[in-house]
Amino acid sequence: MTGTVTRVDGAAERRDGVLRIGTRGSALAVAQTTAVAQSIARATGADVELVTVTTQGDTSRESLAQLGGTGVFATALRDALSAGHVDLVVHSLKDLPTAPAPGLVIGAIPKRADARDTLCARDGLTLETLPEGARVGTGSPRRVAQLKAQRPDLDIVDLRGNVDTRLGMVASGELDAVVLAAAGLSRLGRLDAVTDYFSLSLMPTAPGQGALALEVRAGDEKGRGPIARALSAVDHVTSHASVVAERIVLAGLEAGCAAPIGATALVDDGLLFLTATVYRPDGSEHLTASHAATPDSLGAAHLVEAAHDVGDRVVAELLGAGAADLAPLGSSR
């Protein structure tokens, strides 16, 4: 029997048999958390309640660099989870610091969406056909470096705001284009705004982009309780291993979530492949390392073990080649 999904604002009182899922209140966050909640309700028959939580990243208009990185989106959600106001929280994985939060664990990674970045430009323009000096908006240091590497003539504008705000700046003529994640646009039903998809081989994205993380209190992911059943119902084994490998790059390089680093991992034909690139912030130089591992099986434990192996080897190669001289590494994770 399929359960129900409802939404409340602010703290929710515990009700027997109801699984409370914490989410940011933005349209994108609610859309992606609703999709997770519906999957859990269908698979387990549980009644699910979405609880919106306001984060500093939602209320401040400062750039992510000024706020201290994308971890500002995770703190309030984690506080609500630790305090018992919700039973689990849903994060955009690329916004989640690699340093674990005391008493909390990532319990599941649903199937990953399209990890690519896109260009949303006026008049159907692509990255190649944008005119010289075109104004392109993004708040990501990685995207800045990649854009400058491909088109040093562009005027890159630091940008904050939700998807509609950013697309509105193109529609109004304030900007010629913005760079946005394909996954977010898809979840909002706005893929019609895309004029160019960037290949992952040319412009690898942030570790974990396109993936969601379900975080719970340590211990709740074990056993046969309702939270453990919910996690098991939506965890996607190959997506989980891929993002583990990518996040090992961030952790091993001691890089913040907003560092100019791109990483792409995938499982194909029995192998786990990982490629990572570190950029100089102005896009003038970059270093790339690629490695593969052969897990003993495609089971969760063996895939995660292979992810750690391949991630460690990529980190060692990048550091040995001088990655720390290119990018601001050793920052807060």
Is residue 241 classed as helix, strand or coil in its secondary structure?
A: helix
SS3 readout for 106-154: EEECCCCCCCCEEEEEHHHCCCCCCCCCCEEEECCHHHHHHHHHHCCCC
Length, in residues, of the chain: 333
Structure tokens at 122: 């006026």
Catalytic residues: 94-95, 142-143, 160, 166, 257
Torsion of CA 187, 74, 323, 241, to 10 degrees: -60
Distance CA 307, CA 276 (A): 13
Strand order in the sheet with 271-279: 261-268, 271-279, 286-293
CA 148/CA 285 separation, integer angstroms? 10
What is the enclosing helix (H) or strand (E) of 302? helix 300-320
